[in-house]
């Protein structure tokens, strides 16, 4: 087991999460033998199917019993297991620095989810990578499998800061082209982007056969919009501000928020994204456990 000594990780929570394996929803491709289903045939212990012999096939895989019954040559095929590549995409744009009084910022909350995923993947022998993104890819760590690599990932998360405007859809398009092999791509963000643009980038990732998951982080104050007096709202990505009377805009705000959340729900259903809406007021253990348990139920889908 890897040693954990970071302020943003709780060893007791990790111990509970580690009881549930991290599974992909689709067949994966890797470069070593592992526990996850592959889209290719191989020679593991789990039988897949018979197929007719063709010249050049390995004669050791001929099934002589089938030949005795049918007088035809058949080759046994087996499922090839492989390791998982987990690519974590953490939004570090300006809005991720927001937090209600006494709560974690969205970045701090996302840092905990990202580090937990990295730990769980590394513990079961899978490769994990990390991309910090805002107006561009701020830092990119390709997936690897080692304790030293996990330390680099944790160091990067520890030093992450919020800055700049979000260009998440464009960056996801870029990652869809640069992550060559099938991977579990986990996006952690508040998704302050146009839903239509986001949908196109999620479709791009799915077209590339990636298993896509999303943790949508929301602060309780953003949901409730419970302000009792005039407030100056500051754009954390553009530095503009607006002084308003909350009671005058509360109804319009709630309608806009509900429309946005409905549109997000529609998009993830249409793109088959494993979507988790998360309030940063709850322990990160809860959405992580929902994520892991949901994948255990869905494993084995090609």
In terms of domains, do 70 and 136 share one?
no
In terms of domains, do 64 and 178 share one?
no
| pLDDT tens for each residue of 212-235 | 999 999 999 999 998 888 999 989
The dihedral over CA atoms of 255, 258, 260, 262, expressed in degrees to the nearest 10, equals: -140
Mean pLDDT of 165-182: 93
How far is C-alpha 10 from the chain's CA centre?
20
pLDDT of residue 24: 86
pLDDT of residue 300: 46
In terms of domains, do 116 and 223 share one?
yes
The Cα–Cα gap between 226 and 120 comes to: 37
Residue 46 lies in a domain: yes
Residue 188 lies in a domain: yes
In terms of domains, do 19 and 59 share one?
no
Residue 139 lies in a domain: yes
153-166 burial: b if 16+ Cβ within 10 Å, else e: bbebbeebebeeeb
pLDDT of residue 302: 42
Residue 116 lies in a domain: yes
In terms of domains, do 92 and 235 share one?
yes
Residue 5 lies in a domain: no
Confidence of residue 189 (pLDDT cuts 50, 70, 90): very high
| pLDDT tens for each residue of 45-104 | 455 456 677 776 777 778 888 778 888 887 766 544 446 889 999 999 999 999 999 999
In terms of domains, do 119 and 241 share one?
yes
Q: Report the side by side order of strands in the sheet with 127-133.
A: 137-144, 127-133, 85-91, 184-189, 211-218, 274-279
Mean pLDDT of 274-298: 93
pLDDT of residue 50: 63
301 has a pLDDT exceeding 50: no
The Cα–Cα gap between 275 and 212 comes to: 9
In terms of domains, do 59 and 19 share one?
no
In terms of domains, do 49 and 157 share one?
no
In terms of domains, do 45 and 104 share one?
no
pLDDT of residue 296: 84
CA nearest 131: which of 187, 58, 208, 170? 187
pLDDT of residue 181: 84
Whole domain around residue 53: which residue ranges? 36-82
pLDDT of residue 299: 59
In terms of domains, do 169 and 145 share one?
yes
Helical spans, DSSP H, in the chain: 11-17, 64-70, 106-123, 147-158, 168-178, 195-207, 220-224, 246-271, 285-298
What's the number of domains the chain is made of? Answer: 2
The pTM (predicted TM-score) of the whole model is 0.81
41 has a pLDDT exceeding 80: no
The Cα–Cα gap between 34 and 48 comes to: 17
pLDDT of residue 27: 60
CA nearest 221: which of 199, 194, 253? 253
pLDDT of residue 25: 82
Residue 3 lies in a domain: no
31 has a pLDDT exceeding 60: no
Residue 302 lies in a domain: no
In terms of domains, do 149 and 171 share one?
yes
17 has a pLDDT exceeding 70: yes
Task: List beta partners, residue 187.
Answer: 89, 214
The Cα–Cα gap between 287 and 266 comes to: 20
CATH number of the domain enclosing 263: 3.40.50.410
In terms of domains, do 101 and 238 share one?
yes
Confidence of residue 4 (pLDDT cuts 50, 70, 90): low
- φ/ψ (deg, to 5) at 121: -65, -45
Most distant CA pair in the chain: distance in Å? 86
Residue 2 lies in a domain: no
């Amino acid at each position: 087991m890897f040693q954990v000594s970071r302020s943003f990780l709780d060893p007791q929570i990790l111990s509970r999460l580690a009881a549930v394996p991290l599974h992909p929803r689709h067949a994966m491709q890797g470069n070593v033998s592992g526990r996850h289903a592959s889209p290719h045939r191989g020679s593991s212990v789990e039988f897949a199917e018979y197929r007719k012999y063709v010249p050049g096939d390995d004669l050791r895989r001929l099934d002589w019993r089938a030949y005795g019954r049918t007088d035809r040559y058949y080759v046994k095929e087996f499922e090839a297991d492989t390791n998982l590549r987990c690519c974590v995409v953490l939004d570090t744009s300006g809005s991720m620095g927001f937090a209600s009084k006494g709560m974690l910022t969205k970045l701090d909350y996302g840092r905990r989810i990202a580090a937990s995923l990295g730990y769980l993947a590394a513990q079961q022998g899978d490769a994990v990578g990390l991309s910090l993104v805002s107006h561009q890819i701020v830092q990119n760590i390709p997936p690897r499998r080692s304790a030293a690599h996990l330390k680099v990932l944790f160091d990067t998360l520890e030093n992450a800061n919020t800055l700049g405007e979000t260009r998440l859809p464009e960056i996801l398009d870029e990652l869809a082209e640069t992550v060559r092999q099938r991977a579990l791509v986990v996006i952690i963000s508040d998704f302050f982007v146009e839903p239509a643009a986001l949908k196109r980038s999620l479709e791009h990732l799915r077209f590339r056969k990636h298993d896509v998951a999303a943790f949508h982080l929301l602060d309780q104050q953003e949901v409730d919009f419970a302000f009792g007096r005039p407030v100056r709202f500051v754009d954390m990505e553009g530095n503009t501000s607006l002084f308003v009377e909350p009671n005058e805009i509360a109804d319009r705000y709630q309608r806009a928020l509900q429309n946005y959340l409905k549109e997000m729900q529609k998009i993830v259903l249409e793109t088959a994204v494993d979507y988790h809406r998360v309030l940063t007021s709850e322990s990160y253990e809860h959405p992580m456990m929902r994520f892991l348990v949901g994948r255990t139920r869905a494993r084995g889908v090609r």
